[in-house]
Amino acid sequence: MIHVHVHPDKATAVKSVAASIAKLIRERAAKGQRTVLGLATGSTPIPLYAELVRLHREDGLSFRTVTTFNLDEYSGLGPDHDQSYRYFMQQQLFNHVDVTPSETHVPNGLAKDVVAECAAYEAAIKKAGGIDLQVLGIGRTGHIGFNEPPAGPSTRTRQVHLDEVTRRDNASFFGDVAKVPHHAVTMGVGTILDCRRVVLLAWGEGKAEIVQRSVEVAPADSCPASWLQQHTACDFILDTAAAAKLSKTH
């Protein structure tokens, strides 16, 4: 079941998400428990990370009890490549908060044995106790992480081939579509469905159609995000433009 929350703009939306992440971290820390966050990249979560950094600086939010697992990484890009998702996370969040570096996990895009890397990633998530809260964006193909259609609940962390729509959508970051990798390593739809809470963010009219399909059309591998309807605690956090094509309030 997806609960939809519509905010007037993304600035207001990310404040509410950051506040609920801060509450989760603080409540668990007070009980001596770590918090395992699943994190996403892309342009969508950038203001969320800025707000979490602000809460760290101005409100004393500590990430010392936080373990993180990112959804995905481009194959072939190392941590020093400015388009790698490891680099993105360092710039947007990790370098600015007190998280323990060894507690941050991003799939290794340079792994020689990709199958072993994917199995180790799944094992590390399990060893950490599973993901308490997973942040997601959504691609215009309906992908979550880099689970391009078709992808369903049986998929786990693995290497995938990127859709041309996705490569074109990300071309501006690379300066040229030819420089966008053709493959990535991503948590599977099944890995994401195992997270205890899922929070998907979407802004702008460009996401309105895929948001509507994900929420209102029966789950199908042709729209991987639609499988989130089967999750028991999934929130879609939208601005008014991204919610514009929904036929009713959810």
Cβ at position 144, least distance to ligand GLP in Å: 7
Cβ at position 170, least distance to ligand GLP in Å: 5
Which residue from 141, 126, 188, 157 is spatially nearest to 42, judged by alpha carbons?
141
Separation CA 213–CA 217 (nearest Å): 5
Angle at 92 between CA 123 and CA 79, to 5 degrees: 55
Separation CA 239–CA 7 (nearest Å): 5
* Matching residue, tokens 């979550």: 144
Beta strands across the sheet bearing 158-161: 72-74, 183-186, 158-161
Q: Which residue's C-beta sits nearest to ligand GLP?
A: 137
Q: 142 vs 153, which CB is nearer to ligand GLP?
A: 142
Cβ at position 1, least distance to ligand GLP in Å: 21
Q: 33 vs 91, which CB is nearer to ligand GLP?
A: 91
Q: 62 vs 166, which CB is nearer to ligand GLP?
A: 166
Q: 66 vs 211, which CB is nearer to ligand GLP?
A: 211
Separation CA 76–CA 83 (nearest Å): 11
Query: Kind of pairing, strands 72-74 and 183-186?
Result: antiparallel
Cβ at position 201, least distance to ligand GLP in Å: 8
Q: 29 vs 87, which CB is nearer to ligand GLP?
A: 87
Return residues touching ligand GLP (CB under 6 A): 40-44, 71-72, 137-139, 145-146, 166, 170
Cβ at position 30, least distance to ligand GLP in Å: 31
**Torsion over CA of 149, 151, 152 and 155, rounded to 10 degrees?**
-160
Q: 61 vs 133, which CB is nearer to ligand GLP?
A: 133
Cβ at position 128, least distance to ligand GLP in Å: 20
Name the token pair of 88. Answer: 């993105």
**Torsion over CA of 72, 47, 222 and 70, rounded to 10 degrees?**
20
